[in-house]
Amino acid sequence: MVCFGAGGHARVVLDALSLIGREEPVEIVGLICETATSQSVLGFPVLGADADIAAISQRHKATHFVIGVGSVRGGSTLRPQLYGLALSVGLEPLTVVHPSAVVSPSSTIGHGTVIMAGSVIQAGTRIGNNTIVNTRASIDHDCRIGDHVHIAPGVTCSGNVAVGCGAHVGVGATVVEGLTIGDGATVGAGAVVIEDCASGSTIYGVPARVHQSR
């Protein structure tokens, strides 16, 4: 497999893969990155830029990929673009679940999604494709998390929360039960969300209020 990205988020993904590989071998042939500042990351070589993915995959006989690029706000298109690019050259997305995560057997995890260390995914939750559930995030029962979402470290989503495609829920935010975070919305770090958040809006504070709308 190949990993897109060569920064901090990529290193965390690579760590998770190394732990998974102790029980189920995963061969990482290298990293794909436009702006890498070194020739290798954690011992894995940087193989080239995004545009070279087809040639790199063929040369190294890669079959799968993972996105090791994070996001800092809603509406970011880089992760979806990389996901689509990899699919277009015939690679399959690898779903990564850190061994320390607690994932209910009645939950559903989409293709290419990464569940980081210490996360909890409770019963009946559905998580889409190419989504990040970051370190120690808690997603309670029957939540619906869309594609290309970033649930940042320490987030708490109570039961029956819906998070739309491309949304970003910032570090340590709390979303009370039954609310909807719209497509492409941004929830600021530490926010306490007590009402629905419209698509494309930015919401932060305690309690959270809308401060910008696209």
Residues annotated catalytic, as ranges: 141
Spatial distance between the Cα atoms of 133 and 152, rounded to a whole number of angstroms: 7
Q: Are 179 and 195 in contact (CB under 8 A)?
A: yes
One DSSP character per residue, 84-116 reads: HHHHHTTPEEPPEE-TT-EE-TT-EE-TT-EE-
One DSSP character per residue, 61-88 reads: T--EEEE----SSTT--HHHHHHHHHHH
Rounded alpha-carbon distances, angstroms, from residue 71 to 122, 132, 159, 210: 24, 9, 24, 20
Q: Which residue has the tokens 């995890």?
A: 109
Relative to beta strand 144-145, strand 126-127 is parallel
Q: Which two tokens stand for residue 191?
A: 């926010």
